[in-house]
Structure 1
Amino acid sequence: MGGANDERFAVLFRSTYEDLLRFTERRIHPLAAEDVVAEVFVVAWRRLAHVPTEHDQARAWLFGVAHRLLASQRRTDARRDALTSRIGQVLPPEGQLADGSEHVVSQIDLARAWSLLSPADQEALTLTALDDLSNTHAAQVLGISTTAFSVRLMRARRRLRVHLNSPARRARLRPSNTTTPGGLR
């Protein structure tokens, strides 16, 4: 970009940043709002030739970008929440306690393990488990090669397994040596 474009972008940034930040903060958490606004300006920088030159139109264009980014983030959050719910509905294996307590423990452990995964790991697992996409299609969604996605998915599954098989979880699943009120073990 040239000096004129740099100056145009700087003026656009200075004149709209606070308004865009307030716009996004009314819709999402303030810390996340800063990220969305930053992404709006990344888009504006990359597409500066498409940004209207008239200030009010440029401002509206930026708000439209913010609106679309927020909608995309809501869809991602909804998919992640749905996957967390879907993962939590895993049926307990045969032979578990009839009261379902082991199933509840498994759901809690799964939710905890899921929360420990990075957003990239969660996205890889979400695309295949919830969205039922093949590795090839999931890779296209992320804009990476199928091989890179396959490796990412393999590592995400491995990390989920590690979190699910943590020593703290195994300790909770071990039978306790406590006695019942009647003195029976």
Structure 2
Amino acid sequence: MSTDNDIIRRSRDSPAAFGELYDRHASVIYRYAARRAGDFAADDVTSETFLVAWEQLGTYDLDREDARPWLFGIATNLLRRHHRAEAKVLKAAAKAASDEAVADDSDRIADRVDAKVATGRLARTLKGMTAVDRETLLLYAWADLTYEGIALAMQVPVGTVRSRLNRARRAMRAQLNLEQLDETENDHGRFAAAPRNA
């Protein structure tokens, strides 16, 4: 199986070979874009990513076998333009979680409500992060890139990636700790209010 840099090398002389790169990576770029900006923007971002990649084919470093960091870097830059759409998706998730759920005795419904609330809290936490911290975390979590791959995609040193991921993880941990504290306080409140049997 040929490597990405082999495909890019051949594409410079034979444009039809570029289709192999698209076939190999378009689905992961699409999924990443859909998670970041919704399905409605993912098609555009995916198409634009490969258009920009085609236009910048001559600048690709042929020493790099894996083109994913390069493609995710292009997609991330394009997603910055679609930031409003991403903000709307996160806002909708946060709003949906804050809407009151209809009370039901079913464990299945309770689990779904809990998941929706947790999703809303995480969405609010993501929305509250700086754009570079959020992009770094999402490239790590959703694009499954290594620290080195993220550094290539964002054109920053690996140390900067580590620092951004550390900040993002601390924010997520703080949110999860707040959730546990809320649950503990709610449990204590229920126990304090419960009548004691004498």
TM-score (norm 1): 0.42
TM-score (norm 2): 0.40
Structure with more helix by fraction: 2
Please tell me whether Structure 1 or Structure 2 has the larger radius of gyration of its CA atoms. Answer: 1
